[in-house]
Structure 1
Amino acid sequence: MAKAKDVESGESIILPLISRGTKEVGCGSNCMVLLSTLVAVAGSFQFGMSGGFSSPAQAGIRRDLHLTLAEYSMFGSILTIGAMVGAIMSGRLSDFLGRKGAMRISSIFCVVGWLFIYVAKGAWSLDIGRLSLGYGIGILSFVVPTYIAEITPKNMRGALTTANQLLIVCGGSFSYLLGTVVTWRTLALMGFIPSMLQMLGLCFIPESPRWLAKVGKQEEFESELRRLRGGSADISDEAIEIQKYVESIAKLPKARIRDLFRRNYLYSVIVAVGLILLQQFGGINGIGFYASETFVAAGFSSGNAGTVAMAAIQVPVTTVGALLLDRVGRRPLIMVSATGTCLGCFLAGLSFLIKGHVSSPDIIPILALAGILLYIGSFSIGLGAVPWLIMSEIFPLHVKGMAGSLVTLVHWFGSWAISYAFNFLMTWSSSGTLFVFSAVGALTVLFVAKLVPETKGRTLEEITSAMSSFSSTKL
C-alpha cells in the first residue's frame, strides 16, 4: 500500500477536483457560525460531564447504594453500551431528521438519563439512567463534529471542529472539580443543564446547508448558507460548489453499509476506524472513568488531588491543540500527541512496577501522577479531537451517515471494552495494563505516519475526491 503522503502531495493521483470556490470570510460575518458551534458543543460539554461523572462519584455511590465493584463497573461501562446503540442510529437519524433533529433527540435522552441517576435508589435506576445518557452521547459523538464541519468555512474548520473535544474536556473537568465538593446526586442534577440549553439554542441556529442541499431543499439551503456567511457575503461560488457536489453524488446508487467496504471508500474506512480504535485501546476511558481510584492505588491518600490536577491541565492543553490544528496540520499534532501518551503510560506503569522495591516510597505516587498527567495532556492536545475531525472530513456526503454510524459504533465498543475491563485489568497487573496502553501509543504513531493523510486547508469536497481517487488507484 502506498503511504498517505501520496495523498497529501500528489496532484497526479487526485482526480480533477471541484474548483476552490469557497471565499474566505471576515470576522464580522462569522457570528452565526460561532453561535451555531456554541449551541452544538453544549452537547459536547454534557458528553464530557457524562464521562467524567463516574470518577468522583465512585466512592459516594458505592457507599450510599452499597454497590459491589462489579456493579459499579457495570454502571460505569453501561454508558458505552447505550452509546453503541446511539452510534448505530446516529447516521440514519441525522440523515432523516437533519443534524439539528438528531441533536434534539440526543438532548432529550440525556435529560432523562441524568434525572434517573439523580433519583436512583439502587443499581437498576442508575443503570437505566446511564444507558439513556449513553444513547444520547452516542448520537452526539457523530452529529456534533459533522454539523460543525458542514457549516464552517475551510479556514476555520479545524479550530471550530476541535471545539467539540475542548468542550468534552471542559465537561469532564467540570465533573472532576465539582465532584470533589458536592454530592454525586447534586452533580447529577447539574448534568442535565447543558442539554436543556442545547435544546433551547437549536431553535435559533440554522440547519446544515449541505444536508439541506442533499435532501433537495434548495430555498432553505441558500437561505441557511447566507445566514451562516453573513448578509453581505458573496455565497455564489460556495453554493455552486456544494450544489455540484450534491448533484454528482445524487447520480450514484443509494448507499448501503456494505458499500463502505468497496474500493472507493476502503481507504477512508481504514483511516477512520483505525484512528478510533487506537484512540480507545490507548486506555483513555479506563484512566478517565476511574482516575480517582487509580491515584489511590498508586499511593495517594485520596484521589481528589490527582483528579483536580487532571481537570486543571486538560482545558488549557486542549485549547492549545485547537489553536495549532489549522496551523501545523492534523498529522503532526496527532503524532506528537500519541508519542506523549506512550511516554505517559510508560512512566505510570513504571511507578507501579517499582512500587515496594525502592528505598523512597514517596516517589511512587509522584511518578504515577506525572505519568498520568503527561498522558492526559498529550491525549487532549491531539488524540482526543483529531480522529473525530478527520472522520468528519474524509467521507463523501452520501455515505457520511452510515460511515459515521460505523465509526462511532467502533468507538463505543472500544470504550465499553476498556471501561468495563479496566478495574479487573488493574487488579491483575497495574504495570502490565499501563505498559500495554503505552505500546498502543507507539503503534498510533506508526499508523499515522504510514496511512493518515493531511486534510488541512482543503474543502470537504476536495478531501473526499482525493480519498476516493487514492482508494481506486493505490489499494
Structure 2
Amino acid sequence: MESLESGRQFSKKHDGTPWRLFFSTTCALVGPLSFGYVIGYSSPAIPQLEEQQLLTGTESGWFGSLMTVGALLGGPLGGWNLEKCGRRATMKMAAVPFFLGWIAMLSATGPEALFLGRFLCGLGSGLVTVCVPVYVAEISTSALRGTLGAGVQLSITIGILAAYASGLSLTWSNMAVVGLVLSIVQLVASFLVPETPRWLLMNSTKVEAVRALQQLRHQHADCEDECRDIEEGLDTKETFSWSEFKKPELSKPLMISVIIMIFQQFSGINAVMFYTVSIFKNAGLENSEMATVLIGAVQVVGTFVACMLMDKMGRRKLLITAGSVMSISCFLFSWYYYKVNTGSSASSMGMLAVTSLVLYIIGFSLGWGPIPMLIMSEIFPSRVRGAASAIAIFTNWSCAFIVTKEFLMIQDWLGPAITFSLFACSCMFSVLYVWKKVPETKGKSLEDIELFFLGKSMMHV
C-alpha cells in the first residue's frame, strides 16, 4: 500500500504537459469516429437506396440490424486479440473490416454486397468498442482517465453527426467514400501510437514499457518509477482460465459492467431515436433530415460537457443524475402518448414531446452514453481486461439487437405509452443500482481499483 501511495503522489507531481498523451488518445479515437459514422450512415442512406431500388422495405430492416450482428462477433474477437496480440495491434485490425465493408458497399449493385458491407462495418465496430476504451484507460493518467475515456463516446457522437450532416447533401455512395477515407485514416493513426505500458509489462520487457511511457509522457518524466508502480500492481500469472471469473474479485466487476451495459440499452435510447422524426413532425418541423442533425448536435454537446465533468463530478454522480433525468423524460413521453391516444392533438402537445426528447438526449449524453464503456475499461485487472471487456461488449450488442428488433412488436402489443413507462422504470432501477453497487473510480489508479475488488483498498460505493 505504501508503494501505491507513493506512486499516486509521483503521478500527480510528474504527469507533466499531456500533449503526447492527447495525441495518442486522438489517434485512437479515430476508430470510434468511424464506428459512429457507421451508426449514422443508415438513416440518410436507406431512403436513397430504396429510391434506387437497391433495397426493399424488408431488406432495409436487415441492412440496419446486420451491423449489430457483425458487432456481436467483433466483441469476442476483439477481446481475444487484445490479450494475444496487444491493444495497438487490435486497433490496427479494427480498421480492416471498416475498409473492406465500405469497399463492398461502393461496389454494390444489389442487396447482397450492401449486407456484406454492413456486416463487415459491424465487425469493425465490435472490435473498436472493446479495444479503444481499454487502450485509452491504460495509457491515461489517473487525473485524466475520465475525461479521455469519455472521449470515446464523444467521438462516436461526432461520427453520427457527421453522417447525418453529410446526408443532407451527399448521395449514399459519396457518403460511403467518406467512410472509406475515415477507415484509411484510422489505420494510419493506429501506427502512430505506442502499445500500452501495462500490456508490455505483462507480455514483453520492461525496457519496451519504459519506452512506450516516454512516448506518452514528457521528456522529463521519470518513466522508470511509473513503470515500477504499474508493475507492482500487476498480476503476472501467465495463464488465464475462464473459471477464474468465479472469484469474487473478478465476478463482482464483471457483474457491474454487464449490468450497466444492460441498463444502457434498456434505457430506451433506441426507441427514443426511433421516434425522433415523428416527434419533430408533430411539433411542426417537417424537415426530418434537419431534425436528426439537431439531435446529433445535442448529443455531441452533451457528451462534450460530460468529458469536462467526468473527472470533477465523478462517474456515480453523473450516472445517477443522468438516469434520473432520463426517467423523468420517459415518463413525460408516456404522458404525451397517453394524451394523444385519448384524443389530444399531437400538435398541441408537441412542445412537451420535443422538450422531453432534448432532455432525454442530454441526460443520456451526460451519463449513460459515455460512462458504461469507461467503467468497463477501468474495473478489470490487466490480465483479464480483454476477456472481461469482450463479455461486457457482447452483452451490450446483444441487448441492442434485442431492443432494435423487438421494439416495434412490444410497441404494437402494449402501446407507446406503456412502453415508455417501462423504459422510465428501467432508468429508475439503473439509478438505484448505481447508488448501491457501483464504486466511484474518479482519480483512482487502475491498480487501486483492482485492490478495491480484492478488499484491500477503500473506495466510495
Same fold per TM (> 0.5)?
yes
Deviation at 1:340, TM superposition (A): 1.6
How far is the alpha carbon of 1:104 from its aligned partner?
0.9
Match among 410, 427, 430 for residue 441 of structure 1: 427
Q: Tell me whether 1:143 sits opposite 2:128 in the alignment.
A: no
- Give the superposition deviation at 1:223: 0.7
Pick from 258, 262, 270 the counterpart of residue 243 of structure 2.
Answer: 258
AA aligned to 1:209 is P
* Residue 422 (structure 2) pairs with residue 451 (structure 1): no
- Does the Cα contact within 8 Å between 2:376 and 2:389 map onto a contact in 1? yes
* 3-state SS of 2:108 partner: coil
Deviation of 1:16 after TM superposition, in Å, equals 8.1
Distance 1:227 1:66, change over 3 A: closer
Task: Using the TM superposition, give the Cα deviation of residue 394 of structure 1 relative to its aligned residue in structure 2, in angstroms.
Answer: 0.6
1:40-73 per-position Cα deviation (integer Å, ceiling 9, x unaligned):
1011111111112222333223332364443222
State how far apart, in whole Å, the 2-side matches of 1:255 and 1:454 are: 27
Query: Taking structure 1 as reference, are residues 27 and 405 closer, same or farther at Cα in structure 2, changes over 3 Å only?
Result: closer
Do 1:54 and 1:290's aligned partners in 2 also have CA atoms closer than 8 Å? Answer: no
In structure 2, how many angstroms separate the alpha carbons of the residues matched to 1:368 and 1:342? 14
How much does 1:149 deviate? 0.6
Residue 49 of structure 2 contacts residue 172 of structure 2 at CA under 8 Å; is this kept in 1? Answer: yes
In the alignment, what sits opposite 2:74?
86
Listed as ranges, the matches of 1:21-36 within 5 Å are 21-22=7-8, 23-24=11-12, 29-36=17-24
Quote the residue 2:260 is aligned against.
275
Aligned twin of 1:331 = 316
C-alpha spacing 1:348/1:304, structure 2 compared with 1 (3 Å)? farther
Q: C-alpha distance in 1, partners of 2:282/2:246? A: 44
Aligned to 1:386: 371
1:244 pairs with 2:229: no
Structure number with the bigger relative contact order (C-alpha 8 A, sep ≥ 6) is 1
Report the more deviating stretch, 175-184 or 123-132: 175-184
* Cα gap change, 1:361 to 1:288, in 2 (>3 Å): closer
CA contact (8 A) 1:52 1:288 kept: no
Describe the superposition over 1:262-310 as per-residue Cα deviations: whole angstroms up to 9, x where unpaired: 3221210111001001001112234446744665588764422421220
Q: Name the CA distance, whole Å, in 2 between partners of 1:316 and 1:305.
A: 17
Query: Counterparts of 2:155 and 2:284 in 1: how far apart (Å)?
Result: 31
The CA deviation at 1:175 is: 1.5
Pick which of 101-110 and 62-71 moved more: 62-71
Q: Aligned partners of 2:111, 2:283: CA distance in 1, in Å?
A: 28
Cα distance, 1:182–1:365 mapped onto 2, change above 3 Å: farther
Quick one: distance in 1 between partners of 2:447 and 2:55?
51
Corresponding residue number in structure 1 for 2:95: 107
The worse-fitting range, judged by mean Cα deviation, of 75-84 and 297-306 is 297-306
User: Mean alpha-carbon deviation: is it higher for 231-240 or for 348-357?
Assistant: 348-357
Task: Tell me the residue number matched to 2:205.
Answer: 217
In the superposition, the TM-score normalised over structure 2's length comes to 0.92
Between stretches 29-38 and 284-293, larger displacement belongs to: 284-293
TM-score norm. by structure 1 comes to 0.89
CA distance in 2, matches of 1:465, 1:376: 35
Question: Match for residue 307 of structure 1?
Answer: 292
| CA distance in structure 1 between the partners assigned to 2:59 and 2:147 by the alignment | 40
Which residue matches 2:142?
154
CA–CA distance in 2 between the matches of 1:206 and 1:296?
48
Which residue of structure 1 lines up, in the alignment, with residue 159 of structure 2?
171
Aligned equivalent of 1:75: 63
**Paired residue for 1:19?**
5
Q: Is the 8 A contact 2:263 2:426 kept in 1?
A: yes
How far 1:465 sits from its partner (Å)? 1.1
Alignment of 1:193-208 (within 5 A): 193-208=181-196
CA contact (8 A) 1:176 1:311 kept: yes
Residue 322 of structure 1: how far off its partner (Å): 0.7
Matched, 1:46 2:34: yes
Give structure 2 stretches of 5+ with no counterpart.
none
Which residue of structure 2 aligns with residue 226 of structure 1? 214
Partners of 2:315 and 2:442 within 8 A in 1: yes
Question: In the alignment, does 2:450 pair up with 1:464?
Answer: yes
Q: Distance in 1 between matches of 2:24 and 2:130?
A: 16
**Deviates further, 227-236 or 422-431:** 422-431
Structure 1 unaligned regions, length at least 5: 1-14
Distance 1:329 1:40, change over 3 A: same
Displacement, 1:469?
1.9
How many residues are matched?
454
Contact 1:349 1:431 (C-alpha < 8 Å) held by counterparts = yes
Structure 2 CA distance for partners of 1:295 and 1:78, relative to 1, 3 Å: farther
Give the superposition deviation at 1:235.
2.2
Matching residue within 175, 186, 196 for 1:187: 175
**2:65–2:401: 8 Å Cα contact kept in structure 1?**
yes
User: In 2, distance between residues paired with 1:237 and 1:301?
Assistant: 61
SS where residue 401 of structure 1 aligns?
A: helix
Aligned residue for 2:221, secondary structure, equals: coil
Preserved contact between residue 282 and residue 347 of structure 2 (Cα < 8 Å): no
Matched residue of 1:153: which SS?
A: coil
Aligned counterpart in structure 2 of residue 398 of structure 1, from 363, 379, 383: 383
Matches within 5 A, 1:347-362: 347-355=332-340, 357-358=342-343, 360-362=345-347
* Compared CA separation, residues 289 and 335, structure 1 to 2 (3 A): same
Contact 2:106 2:177 in 1 (8 A): yes
- Percent identity between matched residues is 32
Partners of 1:75 and 1:130 within 8 A in 2: yes
Return closer, same or farther for 1:424/1:189 CA change in 2, 3 Å cut-off.
farther
**CA displacement, residues 211-236 of structure 1 (integer Å, 9 cap, x when unaligned):** 11110322211111122111111223
Distance 1:353 1:425 in 2: 16
